[in-house]
Structure 1
Amino acid sequence: MKVLVLGAGVVGTAAAYYLAKDGHEVTVLERHETVARGTSYCNAGLVSPGDATAWASPAALKTFFRGIFNHELGIRVRLQADPYFYRWSLRFLRQCTTERLRANTLVKLRMALYSLECINALSEETGIAYDQRRKGIFYFWRTQESFDAGARTYTFLGEHGLPIEIVGRDRIAEVEPGLAAAKNRIAGGIYSPIDQTGDSRQFAERLYAHSAGKFGVSFRFGTTVEGLEIEGDRVRAVRTSVGRIEADAVVLAMGPESGLLGRRYGIDLPVYPVKGYAITVPLEDEAKGPTMGGADEDSLIGYSRLGNRLRVSSTAEFTGFDRTHRPHDFAGIFKAAHDLFPGAFDQKKAEIWAGLRPMMPNSVPVFGQAKYRNLFLDTGHGHLGWTMACGSGKFVSDLVAGRKPDIDPAGLIYRN
């Protein structure tokens, strides 16, 4: 079949690889000049089933409302004249029960664990390198109260397939030597040994080159998707800035823009943009930097070691499609990075970035046919797009082929 993939972030690029490997004639449409120039450009670098806990929870409900009035928190809510923001917020709030938290978390964990297997198999098969480190991720808390609560959450993940180790303050520097200078300010943490890190932009760029070279995948950059041409119960063609392009099947993987396109054609797709901020800085003294990925859970800070670089990311800001940023937006990230890794880097050498995560109200990505027989979804991955990209690509390729997926699809398939 001729398959069009809309979007060349890490999710769309991975989908294109698996579809082409299946024998399809694949074309990827991307408005930017190359792959991974949107959400995938500069995330925290964590490939993290350990971060599968759904955002929507009773605790998040309180934080969401606090974020309306206090813009210094890790979650910031800027009220806006966008009726869809309020519709999305009501859906999010309805997911903030203990019952929904557990159900959504288990679906995310299932896909994240599967995707971890997929990315490792892909890397070994293709030889693609992306500054990956398979050393685990250390999740930690600053107070005993938050550590106790966090340990309960991770125990739930551990009971459902995630290997974990509870680490007290006395073993922090043993598990992560890079935190030796900060260990007295940390109450304890959870070590997830199967989690890993890597540069999603490197991965997408090299997977693009591999897919184009080995499978003949056509990437059309500088091509904006303008609409769909519908005929009966099928998408006949995609209208673009360079003309119409026909296809037998279309995969929608446009990140935060997926919802905008879908809703124009009667598809109830509640994907909403949530802005995140990140810095990337070379390590001046590598011995003072982390040896693995980590997350400061109280500060909502995630970081990774990418070669000789440190990547630190934070914040979930509800501000529509605004991608702008100011120096002040990164003050908390720099403060946390200096606190955790003093003397490891020169702040003046940092690259700063802000981008939008495509978030569903229940934090679970969505797949499958959407209203039209040949339109497939692969979107809504939120803060785990990098973690879930390869599993999602393999999963959607199975759906396009009409095969039974490798994992249970319950909770992942689109329902209008």
Structure 2
Amino acid sequence: MRILVLGAGAVGTAAAYYLARDGHEVTVIERHAVPASGTSYANGGLVSPGDATAWASPEALKTFVRGMFNHDLGIRVRLGRDPYLFAWGLRFLRQCTQARKRANTLPKLRLALYSRDSINALSDETGITYDDRRKGILYLSRSRESLDAAARNYGFLADHGLPIEVVDPERMAGIDPGLAGARHHFAGAIYSPTDQTGDSRLFATRLATYATEKLGVDFRFNTTVEGLDTEGDAVRAVRTDAGPFTADNVVLAMGPESGLLGRRHGLDLPIYPVKGYAATIPLEDEGKGPTMGGADEDRYVAYSRLGNRLRLSCTAEFTGFDRTFRKQDFAPMFRTAHELFPGAFDEAKAELWAGLRPMMPRSVPVLGRARYRNLYLDTGHGHLGWTLAAGSGRLLADLVAGRSPEIDTEGLLYGN
């Protein structure tokens, strides 16, 4: 079967790999010159089922409203710039109940656990490495109140398959000696020992090379998707600036742009681009940096150890497709990182970046066949795109092949 995959980020590249492994003839269309040049370029680096709790929640509603007026928070909302945000926001607000939070978290966690196992199996099968560390993640709390709230939140995940441990500052520093000098700032942490870290750009780049050389996948870079030619219940061709491409099936994995393309062709695909900031910094003294991944939950700052580099990420900014940034946008994350890892890095050497997370109102990705009999979705992964990439690609390949997926798809497929 001939299959077109639209998008060569971590999600699209993983889908292409699994489809080609099944024996399909796969072509990937990507507007950039190399894989993982968009959302997958410099995310937080966390492969984190522990972060599977749906964003839409009563707590998020309060933060969302505060973010309209206080742009120093980890969440920033700029309503005047994008009318579509109003429509998306109304759908998001409808999900901000405790019942919906739990209902949306369950399929997300199910896919995240499956995906973590899938990416490890994929790495073992192909031999690709991506500065990965399978040492767990620490979710840090600065006050007793926030630690108690985290224990309740992560306790729900633990009840549904995620191993966790609530740890005090001494145990926290024992797990990651890089935090020894900062432990007095915290009341404790949630330790998720089966979470892990890695560089999604290295993953996608090396997997694309493997898929090309070993499985015959054809990557068409510098090629922009312009639309779909449809006839009846099928996609007849994908229009690009390099001419039309035809195939038996088409997979939409274009991250934030998936929503724009989908809406032009009658798909109810409410994806909003949520901007995040990241900095990648060489470690001046590797002994003073973290040995694993973590997140300062009270300050919305995540970090990863990627080889001899420190990756920092912060902020969820609702401002449309604006990818611009200023140096001062990174000041909060640097202040926190200096506090966590004093003397470990020189922020003047940081590579700064901003990218867009494709967020659905439910905070759950959408997979499977959509409207046209030969159009499949693998998109809307939000802040967990790197975590969910391998699992969603593997699940998608099962759907295309007509196999029963290895996990329950309730809450994950388009229209359910």
Q: Same fold (TM over 0.5)?
A: yes
Shift, 1:80, TM fit? 2.6
What is the aligned partner in structure 1 of residue 6 from structure 2?
6
Give the aligned CA root-mean-square deviation in angstroms.
0.8
Encode CA deviations 1:23-74: one digit per residue, 9 max, x unaligned: 1000000000010000000000000000001101101000000000000000
Shift, 1:191, TM fit? 0.6
Which stretch shifts more, 125-134 or 72-81?
A: 72-81
Structure 2 gaps of 5+ residues are: none
Shift, 1:168, TM fit? 1.2
Separation in 2 of the partners of 1:338 and 1:147? Answer: 22
Q: Trace 1:264-283 onto structure 2 (pairs within 5 A).
A: 264-283=264-283
Separation in 2 of the partners of 1:95 and 1:62? Answer: 13
What is the aligned partner in structure 2 of residue 170 from structure 1?
170
Q: Trace 1:119-268 onto structure 2 (pairs within 5 A).
A: 119-268=119-268
Separation in 2 of the partners of 1:170 and 1:121? Answer: 34
Separation in 1 of the partners of 2:83 and 2:334? Answer: 34
Separation in 2 of the partners of 1:200 and 1:81? Answer: 30
What is the aligned partner in structure 2 of residue 329 from structure 1?
329
Please tell me the residue identity of whatever aligns with 2:356. Answer: L
Question: Helix, strand or coil: the match of 1:69?
Answer: coil
Separation in 2 of the partners of 1:169 and 1:265? Answer: 53
Please tell me the residue identity of whatever aligns with 1:110. Answer: R
Shift, 1:83, TM fit? 2.9
Please tell me the residue identity of whatever aligns with 1:130. Answer: Y
Please tell me the residue identity of whatever aligns with 1:100. Answer: R
What is the aligned partner in structure 2 of residue 392 from structure 1?
392
Separation in 1 of the partners of 2:352 and 2:140? Answer: 24
Please tell me the residue identity of whatever aligns with 2:70. Answer: N
Shift, 1:82, TM fit? 3.0
Please tell me the residue identity of whatever aligns with 1:265. Answer: H
Encode CA deviations 1:280-304: one digit per residue, 9 max, x unaligned: 0001111100011001000111110
Please tell me the residue identity of whatever aligns with 2:37. Answer: R
Encode CA deviations 1:65-101: one digit per residue, 9 max, x unaligned: 0000000000000113533211100000000000001
Question: Helix, strand or coil: the match of 1:163?
Answer: coil
What is the aligned partner in structure 2 of residue 53 from structure 1?
53
Separation in 2 of the partners of 1:156 and 1:415? Answer: 26
Residues 81 and 354 of structure 1, relative CA distance in 2, 3 Å threshold: closer
What is the aligned partner in structure 2 of residue 307 from structure 1?
307
Please tell me the residue identity of whatever aligns with 1:57. Answer: S
Question: Helix, strand or coil: the match of 2:290?
Answer: coil
Please tell me the residue identity of whatever aligns with 2:119. Answer: I
What is the aligned partner in structure 1 of residue 111 from structure 2?
111
Please tell me the residue identity of whatever aligns with 2:362. Answer: N
TM-score, normalization by structure 1: 0.99
What is the aligned partner in structure 2 of residue 402 from structure 1?
402
Separation in 2 of the partners of 1:199 and 1:88? Answer: 30
Please tell me the residue identity of whatever aligns with 1:327. Answer: K
Structure 1 gaps of 5+ residues are: none
Runs of 4+ in 1 over 4 A off after TM superposition: none
Please tell me the residue identity of whatever aligns with 1:20. Answer: A
Shift, 1:176, TM fit? 1.3
Which stretch shifts more, 79-88 or 302-311?
A: 79-88
Separation in 2 of the partners of 1:42 and 1:282? Answer: 14
Please tell me the residue identity of whatever aligns with 1:121. Answer: A
Question: Helix, strand or coil: the match of 2:166?
Answer: strand
Q: Taking every aligned residue pair, what percent have the same amino acid on both sides?
A: 72
Is this contact kept in 1: 2:81–2:319, CA < 8 A?
A: no
Is the aligned partner of 1:344 residue 2:337? no
What is the aligned partner in structure 1 of residue 291 from structure 2?
291
Please tell me the residue identity of whatever aligns with 1:147. Answer: L
Is this contact kept in 1: 2:85–2:272, CA < 8 A?
A: yes
Is this contact kept in 1: 2:49–2:162, CA < 8 A?
A: yes
